[in-house]
Each structure stands twice: as C-alpha cells, then as structure tokens.
A and B are shown apart, each in its own frame.
Chain A
Amino acid sequence: MKKITIWILIAALALLGCAPAMAAGNDRTILHVKNTDGYSGLFVDNVFPVDGGIYVSVTGATRGIRYYADGAEEPVEYLLPEENVEDLMPGEDGTTSYTETVAWFGWKDGLYVIQNQITSGPESNEIDGGYVRKAVMQDGKVQLEECDVPQLDWTNMIEDYGGWKGSRYLNRSIVSGDRLIAQVWDNNGGAVLEIFDLTTGFAQEIYTEGTDDMCAGPDGKILTLQYDWNEETPIARIRMMNPEDQSEEEIATVQVENATAQGLAYDAENHRIFYALNGEIWAIPEDGSAEAQSVTDCPISGGFRAIVLGGQRILLWGQTDILIRDTDPNRDRSEFTLNIQDYIWGQSLNETTFDYTNANGNASVVIRNGGNMESILQDMMNRDATNDIYTLNYESSQFDALRSRGFLADLSGNADVQAAFGKMYPFMQKALEQDGIIIAVPLDVRGNAMGIRMDSWKKLGGTEEELPKTWDQFFDWLNQLPEKLQGTGIPVVEEWTTRYSFRSTIMNTILNQYQAYINQAGNDYAFNTPILRDLLEKLDQVDYDALGIREDENGEEGGMMDYGSSGEEYREPLLDFYTSYTISTWRGAANPLALRFDESTEAVMPVNLTVAFVNPYSQHAEEAARFLAMCMQNLRSETRYSIFADLTEPIRDPYYEENQKRLAEWLEEARKHLEEASEEEKSMWEESVKMYQDMMADNEKNSWMISPEAITSFQQRANLLQPLSYDFTSSLVSSDGGSNFYELWEGYINRQVSAQELLSAIDKKVQMMRLEGN
C-alpha cells in the first residue's frame, strides 16, 4: 500500500511538472521559413485543413503539397506536376488546348483543385470551366484524378473581352459545410461572393461592398470583416451574412487605428469569433455580446489567414509561417509577455519573435505596429510599464527628449549586447552610447545622396583625383562638365530629371549634410552663414541648358520616361542622386561623392538610424535586453554589414549557385550541339557557347548580395558616416507653422525667394528652437 501510494505521488508530481508544458503543448510552429534577406526559397501559398491534418501548398524553389498529419512534426512532401510545354504548342488547326488551375480547396478529408479547359485559337478562345479534380498523393507526387464532385457552374466566372474570354479568380476561398465560397472581382471593380455547392455544382452570386477578410460562420452563414476608413478613428466591422436571404447583421466593431485586423476565424465548438490585432488573437462571443478578450499571441507579421481546428486550437498561416495556437482562455499562458511598441515597423522584430519564443518557452511576444509616437514621452513621465521595448527613429524629437532625460534603460549589463557593441563601427558606437552606457540597439541604418558612376567618368577620361572634394569644387566641376560630355551621349543625370527636381535634390543634400556638419563639436549651429549662402548662390547659377537638364513641364516635378514606346534608348547618367552611403544589396554602379564644406574638415555623410531600446520602467528589462541582442542577429545582411566592423566575408547571391549550375548545363548542351552541328549551324552554336560562357563569367563577377568591393568601399568611408540626431529643419517643416515655412522652401526652389531670405528664415526659427531647449 505504501509503495502504491509513493508511486501515485511520484506520478502526480511528474504530471504537475509537465502541466505547463502540456498546457502550452497546443502552441506549435508547424513551419517557419527564415526570411531575413527577403529570400527564403519557399513560400506558403495556401493551407487547407482537412480531417486528420492539413495540406500546405508551397511555391518558390519547388512547387508542391506538404501534408502535416495531426501531431506530426515533419510533413510528407509531394511534388506538383510540371507544366508540359508541348501542351501549349498550337496544333495543326492552329488551336491550343490546355488546362488551367484556378484554385485549390480542402474539403472533408481530401484536397481538390478547380480547373478550366481552355481552347485558344488565333482570334478567340473558349473556356469550359469549373472542373473539380481530387489530388491524390502517391509516391511523392500529386496526381489529379476525376472525382464525384460535379462540374461547378462556371457561367458567372467567365468574362468576355470581345472574342477573348478570361476566367475570374477565386480570392479568399473558404469551405463551409458542402459549399465553397470565394470573393471575386468583376470587371467594374465590384465585389461578388461566389458560392458553389460542391454536391450539385450550383453557383450563387451575392453582390457585396467588398470584404477584407471572411470565414465560415455558424449554420451556413458567412462572417466578414470590412474596414471603414471614413470614421474619425478607422474601424473594422465584423458582420454575419446569411446567404439564403442575403441579410447582414453587424456583430462587432473593432478600433484598428494604425493597425490591421485580420485572421477572422469562427470557433463552432465554443461559439466564438476570433480576429488578430496588434500581435494578439482576440475572441468575442458570436453574438458580440461581450468585449473582446485576448486569448493568445500572434507573431506572424504581414498578411495572414486563420481557421479554427478542434480542441480550441487556431491555425494561422502567412507567407512564410504556419502556426497553431491554443485559444483556451483558462489555460496557463506564458509566464510573461514582452510587449513591443514598434513605431517604425522595425526590421528583424518579427523574425526574432520566433527565435526568442523558441528559446524561451515560458515567454510570449506581442508586437504593436505603428501608433502615435507623441505619446511615448507622456508614457515615460507616467512611469508606464505596459511596453517593454520601443522602436524610434534616432533623429526624432521623441528620442532626443528621452535620451536627454535619461528614459532609456542601460543595456550594458547584457553580455550579448555588450559583445555586439564592441564589434560595431565607431560611428555606430558613438550614437548608441551615452555617459558610458549602451542606450539602444540599431535596427536599420541607411542614407543616400549623390554618387558618380566611375565607369562613365573614366570613359570621359576623368580620374579619381579630378573629382571634386568640396561642395565649392563640385559646382565649379559641374560647370565644366558640358565640355567634357559633349558628343559622348552620356547625360549628367537621369533624363527624366527636371530642373526643379535637380535643384531641390541638391538643396536637400546640401542642407542634410550641413546639418550633420554643424552638429559636430566646435561648429556654430547656424544656417545663415557665408558657407551655405555661397553654395546656394552657386546653385542658383547652374547652367541647366548647358547641362541638358530639361525644363519643368506644367509644374511637374519629373517622372519616369517611357523608353519602350518612345523608341529611345536608356542612357546611364554620370551622376546618381540615390547612391547609398551604407552597404546595399542593390547592385548600383555609382560611388558616393563625399563632399566637404571646407578644405580643413572631413566630409560628413549623414545617415538615418532606427533604434530599439528598453523602457526603464519595464518589469522584464533583462528579458527585453536579451530580445534586443537576438534582434541584431536577425537584421538583413546589408544592415548587419553596415553596423558590424567584423563582418568582412562577402555573401553570394542566393540564386548564384542555382544559376551557375543551370548555365553550366546549358553550356554543356551547347558544346554538344556544336560538336554535332553541321557547317551552317556551327557559327550559331559557337555564338551560343560564347554567350553562355559570358553569362557564367558575369554571374561569377556580379552575383553578390554583399560584394567584396562594397565591403571595401564602405570600410573606407565608415568614419565619415554620422547618424542624424534631432533634426530642427524637419521639425520646423512638420510643426504647426510649417505651412509658412514650406511655402518659403518651395519659393526658393522656384526661384521666388532668394537664398539669403530662405536661410535667414530658417536660421531665425532654428535659433529660437535651440535657445528654447528641449
């Protein structure tokens, strides 16, 4: 008896120990594709819950279907059939017949596809649509077979374009009982709900105002979510529609403000409606009789959908993530939640959420995007501990105020943050340190201004030594350019650039750099100075006719030119106005021009920095610091390389190997053809071989995400970079009296106001702002 009691006690203790894990066991990440650099190789196209599991259709490097049985960690993968190119070749009568897949859907225990049979002739085509096939998974492949589902009435789905027909596409399709429901857009932009009965093939059409999300509701009804931007504070309305009589009942309104409500789902078991907002899943009763209650976190960013599985679980899927979350409000939720108020849609936060919650099973993370950053200082003064982490622009007045008043928690105590800080470039360390402590971590750094295409400059016979070193020299150099460019066909700037945009871009560049210049210690903070006045007067004297910069037309600021239809060929200009100061994955050919304001000082390259910091009143400051340390590892490559000086290894383009392999195959193919070719065909195949060789060499040389040259070039100018701090000029323009100031600004660009008047006006206001203090 005693032994039995002991065993029972042991079992009870073991169960108690497992309880939190078991209670949290329903939270699962089925699929998460790391997408730091915008390339993941895999995208989730759609998810279809069926009895016993879920089917996931994926695209990207491979197209296929994955089946995750309930509780299974790993999926079984099936490849979709490749398109048979020969099917698209016209027959002897000039017609082509092929099958087009319109949509997939999950129903009962199977996966189905809707296909159209299209017969296309030289002058018209016919569509016989709505055929339903069942997807049969066998031997690693998906085969489509005929099934008992009758052909759907596709009449309403065909659009006639005068001889040519097209099929509308099913958007946001859902299955409710034996019905397939989807939103379709007609030619006039009207929104229609198409409801197909899968047992009879019958189709019903209901015109609506358009829905932003929908799901199957109780008793065959449809739940819809629609934004209403006309209200003073944007809201989303949740409505229940009865397709029988097309009546609608409003269930609830959700205040969305700057956020997006989505992921509408219905829990038939517990009569609840779910939606996601601000990083959480909220539940309301199906009759809307009570306030919404947060039931779980939702780490997916971007667009996603949701559907309720059994056992109070909700399935969420976005482009790179599929998650299951437990929605039982009575379960033990995570021990603590890290709340992040993300004002600037910070890079890497969402990715870090997955890493952090995987590493810390007792934590959840809720990210609220957007919002009014004016309230942050008020929150600090009220000692508000609601948010643990904030993100802001470094040059914002809010960050400046928080920094000057000490409302930024010390991150130096976290070893990972400290270690990462030690590896940063000096310009970054200087920005993030105050009085010996680390006050924030960087989330993004970027800056761009004028650059010069060195290839073009060398073609003109120019050398690096001849390039201007100061702004003064720049304008003199600009005046000498017409002579150098004559007859070369190289334009100075993009050919769509007008005089207005040239002038305002140069003006903005000068002012931005000047602001960074005067922010440095020892320089007078004034705008109405001889340096700036002289430069703007030189800008006034630029000879646009000689430089071939076109005039403004009807007050337009310039736009893209239509090279295709005009027959003109694009000519790469000498100067590029959007050359990045930081490392960029975009393979532009321009080098930034580092221009000084006078010979005795270094050039300054202002950059914009976004940062994240910990609320000093946070009750989870250590965890927040740990989260931020992880954030820095999840930054995009170009950002990491622009921040950390120890990153010197170039990174290949993710498609490099794949492309190189394919090119090698084609080259081999071409060589074989060359060996077997007749005399007449030899030259053609020789050309093909050369072409593939050149392509491989070009791929080898240029397929870099982060190239060795970009790293070297950045290292040489890193000491010139300076994160812009509190920006008086932009604050001036955005303040309540900003319209007056903006008029003056525009007046200068349009030559109605002199440089002296503009700088004098800026100076007066800026000096007043500075003297007031912050």
Chain B
Amino acid sequence: MYKKMRLAWPFILPGLAGLTLFYFIPFVGGIWYSVTDGSFENRFVGFENYATVWQNQMFQLGLRNTMELSLICAPLLFLLSFVLASLLHRIRPAGTFFRSSVLMPYLMPSSAVLIIWLLWFDYGGPVNHLLSLLGVQRINWLLGSELRVPVVLLFLWKNLGFCVIVFLSALQSIPESLYEYATLEGASFRRQTFSITLPLVVPSAFLVAILSFVSAFRIFKEVYFIGGPYPEEPLYTLQNYMNNMYGKLNYQNVTTAAYIFAAIVFVLFGILFFSQRHALRRLNGEE
C-alpha cells in the first residue's frame, strides 16, 4: 500500500499544490487581515473586527437576506429536482431529449438570461399580462421585496438541471431487480420508496442539499446586474456586503465577514451531515 501511495503522489500533487496555493494559504493568511485594523500602523486588534462587523447593520441585513433566500431556494431546488428526476427516470424512451435539455439553463450565461427575465417580469411584460388575464392586479416585480420572486425563479431555473442529473444518476444506479423482488414480495409503492429508493438515494440527496445551499449562498450576480452594488434591501446579500468592502479595499471587513459566514456554513453543513447519518440509520433500520 505504501508503494501504491508513492505512485499516487505525482498525480495528486499538482491539484494539491493549487489547492494549497489558492485556498489554504489565503484562508490562513486572511486570518491576519481579520485581526488587524488595516491602518498605517496595522495594529493587532484581536476580535474587535469580528465584533464590529457582526454589529454592522448592513452585514446583519446581508446575512439575514442570504439565510432567508437560501432557506427558500435550497429546499425548493431539492424537492423540485427530486420530483423532476423521478419523472425523467420514468420517461425512458424519450428521456434522452429531456435529460439533455434540462441541463441547458445551467450552461447559459447569466447576463443574457437576465435580460430576458427582466423583460418577462417588467411591469408591462408577459407575466403581468398573464396575471391581468387572470384578474390579478399587476405587480412591480422589479422593485422592493417582489424582486425576490424573479430572482428565486431564475435561481431555480438555472440550477435545477444539475441537481436533476445528480438525482437521476442516483435513481438509475438502483438495480431494477430490487424493485422487481419487492413487487413480487407484495411491497407497495410507498414501502418501496422508503425501503429501497430513499436509502440508496440519501448520499446523493445529501450532495444535492449541499450543492443547493452553496448555490443559494452565491446568489449575487443576478442581483448585482439588476440593482448594482446597493440593490433593494430585501435582496442585499452578504455577497453584496463583501463585494462592496472589497471594492473599498477594506480587506479587514471582507475577511472578517467571510470567516463569520464560513463558521455559520460549517455549522449548517455539520447539521446536514448528522441529519444524513441519522436518516440513513433510520432508513436502514439501525435505530
């Protein structure tokens, strides 16, 4: 095994070097920025920056909006992608076309898509036209908290494809024979789902959950294109805060905000990880 490990090093070293140079070192190096004041004297200030950033109203607003959007977008994405993957899993003969087309939004550039989205959700656009046909009053989608709706929809539309593919591969990797045996044994659809499908899909589900949250945390590009560095309050995310601080070269605040957020994400993913383990045990009947 030791010999095999030695053979493996040349293959993993370049990737590891890149990871070290562009992730680990900056991550550790950024800690220095977060504990100094960035002035001419560059004094060590301990956790003062953390306290200042944590108490900053705009940071709090950004964090709150980021968590809210994530808690809306990620579960929706998770559920929709699972449902769509299940449907695609059933449409086998014609499924190739749908499987390919579901990835298309993921590949399209955001700026181009956004222009179309803005036209659709314009006050006089097709969406409002449809609403008025249904007897509903027109909504100014591009102002205030209503702007969240097109942003969430755009997020879902864009990211659905990738998550569907992950779920679909998980579903397709379940041997058909298991379902056949279960049917022969008289298991209902519900029983098959909970005893066969879900336990085998949970690892992929965990991955999709992580991806969903990560993608949701990164909602920024579209908001920036619409509203600039200071968009409507309901859409001001942590990314806006960090981007603006970076623009002002306030590296102290950028790194501090990033580490605070990293800690929150770490806790969140820890919760997801333990949830996954617990769910697997339950589904496998270990508890």
Q: Could you say which of A158-166, A300-308, A504-512, A733-741 contacts chain B? A: A733-741
Contact in complex: B40, A407 (CB < 8 Å): yes
A765 to B245, CA, bound (A): 15
9 contacts between A and B (CB under 8 A): A405-B39, A405-B40, A406-B39, A735-B230, A736-B228, A740-B227, A768-B230, A772-B245, A774-B250
A646 to B40, CA, bound (A): 35
A510 to B125, CA, bound (A): 37
The reply on A4 being an interface residue by CB < 8 A is no
A771 to B57, CA, bound (A): 7
Q: Which residues of A lie under 8 Å from residue B227 when comparing CB positions?
A: 737, 740
Known contacts A406-B39, A406-B40, A773-B56: does B228 contact A377 (CB below 8 Å)?
no
Q: With CB as the reference atom, state the residue of chain B lying closest to A405.
A: B39
Return A737 CB to nearest CB of chain B, in Å: 1
Q: With CB as the reference atom, state the residue of chain B lying closest to A401.
A: B248
In the A-B complex, list the 6 residue pairs whose CB atoms are closest, starting with the nearest: A737-B228, A406-B40, A377-B249, A772-B58, A405-B39, A406-B39
B-contacting residues, A720-774, CB 8 Å: 732, 735-738, 740-741, 764-765, 768-769, 771-774
Return B229 CB to nearest CB of chain A, in Å: 6
B225-268 CB mask vs A (1 if < 8 Å, else 0) is: 00111110100100001001100111101000000000000000
Return A403 CB to nearest CB of chain B, in Å: 11
The reply on A434 being an interface residue by CB < 8 A is no
The reply on B176 being an interface residue by CB < 8 A is no
CB < 8 Å neighbour of A768 from B58, B224, B251: B58
Contact in complex: A406, B41 (CB < 8 Å): yes
- The majority secondary structure among interface residues of chain A is helix
Contact in complex: B248, A397 (CB < 8 Å): yes
Return B69 CB to nearest CB of chain A, in Å: 18
Q: Which residues of A lie under 8 Å from residue B251 when comparing CB positions?
A: 381
A745 to B39, CA, bound (A): 36
Return A739 CB to nearest CB of chain B, in Å: 8
Q: Which residues of A lie under 8 Å from residue B40 when comparing CB positions?
A: 380, 405-407, 616
Contact in complex: A772, B244 (CB < 8 Å): yes
The reply on A378 being an interface residue by CB < 8 A is yes
Return A761 CB to nearest CB of chain B, in Å: 10
CB < 8 Å neighbour of B230 from A397, A769, A774: A769
A404-427 CB mask vs B (1 if < 8 Å, else 0) is: 011100000000000000000000
CB < 8 Å neighbour of B38 from A405, A735, A737, A771: A405
Q: Which residues of B lie under 8 Å from residue A736 when comparing CB positions?
A: 224, 228-229
Q: Which residues of B lie under 8 Å from residue A771 when comparing CB positions?
A: 56-58
Q: Which residues of A lie under 8 Å from residue B39 when comparing CB positions?
A: 405-407
Q: With CB as the reference atom, state the residue of chain B lying closest to A738.
A: B228
A382-406 CB mask vs B (1 if < 8 Å, else 0) is: 0000000000000001000100011
Q: With CB as the reference atom, state the residue of chain B lying closest to A737.
A: B228
Q: Which residues of A lie under 8 Å from residue B38 when comparing CB positions?
A: 381, 405
Contact in complex: A768, B236 (CB < 8 Å): yes
Contact in complex: B241, A772 (CB < 8 Å): yes
A765 to B57, CA, bound (A): 14
Known contacts A405-B38, A735-B229, A737-B228: does B56 contact A381 (CB below 8 Å)?
no
Q: Which residues of B lie under 8 Å from residue A735 when comparing CB positions?
A: 228-230
Return A576 CB to nearest CB of chain B, in Å: 36
Contact in complex: B41, A737 (CB < 8 Å): no
A-contacting residues, B215-229, CB 8 Å: 224, 227-229
Contact in complex: B233, A764 (CB < 8 Å): yes
Taking A741-B228, A768-B230 as known contacts, 16 extra A-B pairs with beta carbons closer than 8 A to each other, sorted by chain A number, are A377-B249, A378-B249, A381-B249, A397-B248, A735-B229, A735-B230, A736-B224, A737-B231, A740-B227, A740-B228, A764-B230, A765-B230, A771-B56, A771-B57, A772-B241, A774-B248
How many residues of B are in contact with the other chain, CB < 8 A?
A: 23
Return B43 CB to nearest CB of chain A, in Å: 10
A226 to B74, CA, bound (A): 58
Q: Which residues of B lie under 8 Å from residue A381 when comparing CB positions?
A: 38, 249, 251
Contact in complex: A773, B253 (CB < 8 Å): yes
Q: Which residues of B lie under 8 Å from residue A772 when comparing CB positions?
A: 56, 58, 241, 244-245
Return A308 CB to nearest CB of chain B, in Å: 44
Return B112 CB to nearest CB of chain A, in Å: 18
B-contacting residues, A366-380, CB 8 Å: 377-378, 380
A730 to B96, CA, bound (A): 54
Q: With CB as the reference atom, state the residue of chain B lying closest to A735.
A: B229
A654 to B41, CA, bound (A): 50
A295-334 CB mask vs B (1 if < 8 Å, else 0) is: 0000000000000000000000000000000000000000
A774 to B246, CA, bound (A): 10
B-contacting residues, A212-246, CB 8 Å: none
A737 to B236, CA, bound (A): 13
Most buried by B among A616, A768, A774: A768
Return A388 CB to nearest CB of chain B, in Å: 16
Most buried by A among B40, B41, B224, B244: B40
A160 to B251, CA, bound (A): 67
A285 to B38, CA, bound (A): 45
B37-69 CB mask vs A (1 if < 8 Å, else 0) is: 011110000000000000011100000000000
A-contacting residues, B172-195, CB 8 Å: none
Return A203 CB to nearest CB of chain B, in Å: 58
Return A595 CB to nearest CB of chain B, in Å: 31
Return B234 CB to nearest CB of chain A, in Å: 12
Q: Which residues of A lie under 8 Å from residue B230 when comparing CB positions?
A: 732, 735, 737, 764-765, 768-769
A765 to B244, CA, bound (A): 13
Q: Which residues of B lie under 8 Å from residue A764 when comparing CB positions?
A: 230, 233
Most buried by A among B56, B224, B241, B248: B248
Q: With CB as the reference atom, state the residue of chain A lying closest to B253.
A: A773
A-contacting residues, B8-46, CB 8 Å: 38-41
Q: Which residues of B lie under 8 Å from residue A380 when comparing CB positions?
A: 40
A732 to B58, CA, bound (A): 17
Q: Which residues of B lie under 8 Å from residue A378 when comparing CB positions?
A: 249
A475 to B245, CA, bound (A): 41
A381 to B241, CA, bound (A): 21
Q: Which residues of A lie under 8 Å from residue B250 when comparing CB positions?
A: 773-774
A460 to B248, CA, bound (A): 53
Q: Which residues of A lie under 8 Å from residue B229 when comparing CB positions?
A: 735-737
Q: Which residues of A lie under 8 Å from residue B244 when comparing CB positions?
A: 772
Q: With CB as the reference atom, state the residue of chain A lying closest to B231.
A: A737
Return A675 CB to nearest CB of chain B, in Å: 78
A409 to B101, CA, bound (A): 61
Q: Which residues of B lie under 8 Å from residue A397 when comparing CB positions?
A: 248
Q: Which residues of A lie under 8 Å from residue B248 when comparing CB positions?
A: 397, 401, 774
A219 to B231, CA, bound (A): 65
Most buried by B among A377, A764, A772: A772
Return A54 CB to nearest CB of chain B, in Å: 49
Return A758 CB to nearest CB of chain B, in Å: 14
A-contacting residues, B139-182, CB 8 Å: none
A439 to B38, CA, bound (A): 18
A514 to B207, CA, bound (A): 54
Q: Which residues of A lie under 8 Å from residue B228 when comparing CB positions?
A: 735-738, 740-741
Q: Which residues of A lie under 8 Å from residue B236 when comparing CB positions?
A: 768
